[in-house]
């Protein structure tokens, strides 16, 4: 029978309860399999330094440089042993503080008491690996991801993340990291668990008719990371999506988006827990035609500023895809404010600046400026009172898209 209290001796909690109640965890960096650090693989672990040295035993050496299974050789390693906290889909991220750091990893499923010696003898193959060259553009992050499709990635150029893995609580795993160049800046190790929830619905256009083109249904987290996707049935407009949900008792925000040629995209923010059973969703996908006006509720701005909230970026990218997919589409971007506290002239400048923020993003991504015009409407077309709830005020700070030509 496994002992759970042993975890208390293998990692340390640093808790900051003065304002947030947030706890950070750390663990010893141990270089050998036989005494790997035992951790409770949930949440974030932070390390002030990165692994240094190879320990008492050299587990990996003399392997081909293009191996999918093993490091070519061990440089600066750290071993962790863990039993999954939940049954479900496991992901983890290794996040270095210095983007010049190159972390590789191997993930093994435990077998028996001969496990560590069998690894040295290459009798056990890892279930997941990523030995690819670090990418500063991706902040040199590696790990397992829901939107990766390869279980193993060899050295050299390659995708920095490997495919998530289905785990059971009664399993046991060993994770070994290799800090290839010996950078000492430290890193974070973050574990998350997911399950799937079935989302269903029907998609039609704004004339209540079926859409003949292919319709994609996408499920994303708030960072815009793709978690799941499917194609709607052309004959019925119905869709079924196995939406991947973080295993937590607290509701999390996700975005359901729907895309199709010749139509404007649909977005719906959904707050959901892993125990939820959501109702079917009726989606109306507006046709692209001159005079069509679309409110982008997911592009919002900081109060009194033309700077968009970080959560708006996925919608920026959806608008970019729409413009690239429809070369003849021309639009006007209309900016709005929440009230006119500094006067109409100030709000007019701010509303126009917000529209220009979106236009500037599209131009920088390659869209011809001639296809985009802008206009500011200050506080004359608010959706809610300026003194409404925080959410309502945020929705007043918005942009709308008017199709001027198609």
What would the pLDDT profile of 288-347 be if each residue is shown by its tens digit?
A: 999 999 988 889 899 999 999 998 999 999 999 999 999 999 999 999 999 999 999 999
Check residue 123 and give its pLDDT. Answer: 96
User: In this structure, which topology does domain 288-406 adopt according to CATH?
Assistant: 60s Ribosomal Protein L30; Chain: A; (3.30.1330)
DSSP of 27-85: ------GGGPEE---SEEEEESS---S--SS----S--TT-SSS-SS-SSEEEEEE--S
User: At 225, is the pLDDT very low, low, confident or very high (cuts 50, 70, 90)?
Assistant: confident
Average pLDDT over residues 170-186: 96
Check residue 276 and give its pLDDT. Answer: 74
Strand (E) or helix (H) holding 299: strand 293-300
pLDDT(3) > 70: no
pLDDT(284) > 90: yes
- pTM here is 0.74
Query: Please, are residues 309 and 297 in contact by the beta-carbon 8 Å criterion?
Result: no
Q: Which residues have CB under 8 Å from 391's CB, separation 6+? A: none
Per-residue model confidence as pLDDT tens digits over 152-168: 999 999 999 999 999 99
pLDDT(14) > 80: no
Check residue 5 and give its pLDDT. Answer: 36
Check residue 275 and give its pLDDT. Answer: 76
Averaged pLDDT of the chain:
91
Check residue 250 and give its pLDDT. Answer: 79
Higher pLDDT, 15 or 297: 297
Check residue 224 and give its pLDDT. Answer: 85
d(CA 260, CA 64): 45
pLDDT(203) > 50: yes
**pLDDT over 90 percentage in the chain:** 83
Per-residue model confidence as pLDDT tens digits over 337-352: 999 999 999 999 999 9
pLDDT(2) > 50: no
Per-residue model confidence as pLDDT tens digits over 94-145: 999 999 999 999 999 999 999 999 999 999 999 999 999 999 989 999 999 9
Other C-beta atoms lying within 10 Å of the C-beta of residue 310: 11
Check residue 11 and give its pLDDT. Answer: 46
**CATH architecture of the domain formed by 193-287:** Sandwich (2.60)
Give Cα separations from 129 to 107, 163, 177, 381, 383 (angstroms).
Answer: 6, 9, 10, 53, 50
d(CA 358, CA 397): 13
Residue 98: closest CA among 58, 69, 143, 134: 134
User: At 22, is the pLDDT very low, low, confident or very high (cuts 50, 70, 90)?
Assistant: very low
Check for a shared fold between 193-287 and 288-406: no
d(CA 134, CA 101): 7
353 dihedral zone (left: phi>0; alpha: psi -120 to 50; beta) = alpha
Other C-beta atoms lying within 10 Å of the C-beta of residue 161: 23
Q: Spell out the domain ranges in the chain.
A: 5-185, 193-287, 288-406
**Range with the lowest mean pLDDT among 60-69, 207-216, 275-284?**
275-284
Check residue 23 and give its pLDDT. Answer: 57
């Amino acid at each position: 029978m496994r002992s759970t209290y042993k975890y208390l001796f293998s990692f340390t909690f640093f808790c900051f309860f003065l304002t947030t109640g947030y706890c950070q965890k750390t663990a010893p960096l141990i270089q050998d399999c036989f005494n790997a650090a035992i951790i409770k693989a949930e949440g974030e672990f932070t390390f002030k330094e990165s692994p240094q040295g190879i320990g008492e035993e050299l587990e990996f050496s003399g392997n081909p440089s293009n191996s999918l299974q093993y490091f070519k050789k061990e440089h600066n390693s750290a071993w962790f042993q863990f039993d999954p906290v939940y049954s479900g889909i496991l992901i983890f991220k290794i996040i270095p503080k210095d983007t010049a750091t190159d972390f590789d990893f191997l993930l093994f499923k435990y077998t028996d008491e001969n496990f560590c010696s069998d690894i040295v003898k290459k009798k056990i193959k890892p279930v997941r690996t990523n030995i690819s060259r670090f990418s500063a553009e991706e902040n040199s992050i590696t790990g397992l991801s829901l939107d990766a499709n390869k279980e193993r990635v060899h050295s050299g150029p390659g995708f920095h993340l490997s495919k998530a893995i289905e785990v059971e609580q009664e399993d046991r795993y060993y994770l070994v990291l290799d800090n290839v160049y010996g950078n000492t800046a430290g890193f974070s190790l973050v574990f998350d668990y997911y399950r799937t929830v079935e989302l269903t619905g029907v998609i039609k256009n704004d004339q209540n008719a079926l859409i003949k083109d292919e319709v994609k249904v996408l499920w994303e987290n708030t960072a815009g990371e793709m978690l799941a996707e499917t194609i709607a049935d052309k004959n019925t407009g119905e869709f079924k999506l196995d939406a991947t949900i973080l295993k937590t008792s607290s509701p999390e925000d996700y975005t359901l988006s729907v895309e199709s040629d010749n139509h404007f995209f649909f977005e719906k923010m959904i707050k959901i827990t892993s125990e939820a059973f959501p109702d079917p969703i009726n989606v109306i996908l507006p046709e692209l035609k001159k005079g069509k006006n679309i409110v982008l509720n997911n592009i919002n701005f900081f109060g009194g500023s033309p700077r968009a909230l970080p959560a708006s970026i996925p919608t920026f990218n959806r608008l970019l895809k729409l413009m690239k997919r429809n070369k003849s589409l021309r639009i006007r971007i209309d900016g709005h404010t929440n009230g006119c506290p500094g006067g109409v002239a100030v709000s007019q400048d701010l509303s126009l600046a917000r529209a220009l923020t979106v236009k500037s993003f599209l131009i920088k991504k390659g869209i011809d400026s001639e296809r985009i015009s802008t206009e500011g409407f200050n506080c004359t077309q608010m959706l809610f009172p300026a003194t409404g709830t925080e959410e309502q005020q945020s929705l007043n700070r918005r942009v709308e898209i008017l199709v001027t030509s198609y």
